Homo-oligomer: A and B are copies of this chain.
């Protein structure tokens, strides 16, 4: 089975590629994550975002505990083939484990990181089990 589209990607020294996750309907950046080869294959084949969790060192089917699945609309590759842009529809409108719409909820103002986005749902209500 030829996998040329996978071989065209410049995986880093750990076999990973950074992934920017944008929301199709709002064009907002939801989060930033990493994929390995298997995660990208699963993402393409299932149409749902699957990442590589570096902290847990395992595949991470986004929404597996929270229900906040990401449905893939588009997959883009950059000029250097070392970054992916994933355009998704975000189930539940919450991408961040803090219960916010986007993970990028802190903005630099006067050299301080200020929180500028509200918590939509308390994480304790999202994650009934341990971890996220």
Q: B-contacting residues of A (Cβ < 8 Å)?
A: 4-5, 8, 18, 20, 22, 27-29, 31-32, 44, 74-80, 82-83, 85, 96-98, 100, 103-108, 111-113
**Chain B contacts of A97 at CB under 8 A?**
79
**Chain B contacts of A22 at CB under 8 A?**
29
Complex Cα gap A67–B33 (Å): 31
How far in angstroms is the closest Cβ of chain B from A44? 7
Copies in the complex: 2
Complex Cα gap A27–B28 (Å): 7
Of all A-B residue pairs in the complex, the 3 with the closest CB atoms, nearest first, are A27-B27, A32-B83, A76-B104
Complex Cα gap A6–B104 (Å): 16
Would A75 and B27 count as touching, CB distance under 8 A?
no
How far in angstroms is the closest Cβ of chain B from A84? 8
Would A79 and B107 count as touching, CB distance under 8 A?
no
Q: Supply 27 A–B pairs (Cβ within 8 Å), ascending by A.
A: A5-B111, A5-B112, A8-B113, A20-B20, A20-B32, A27-B28, A29-B29, A32-B78, A44-B108, A74-B108, A75-B108, A76-B104, A76-B105, A76-B108, A77-B104, A77-B107, A77-B108, A77-B113, A78-B103, A78-B104, A78-B105, A79-B97, A79-B98, A79-B103, A79-B105, A83-B103, A83-B104
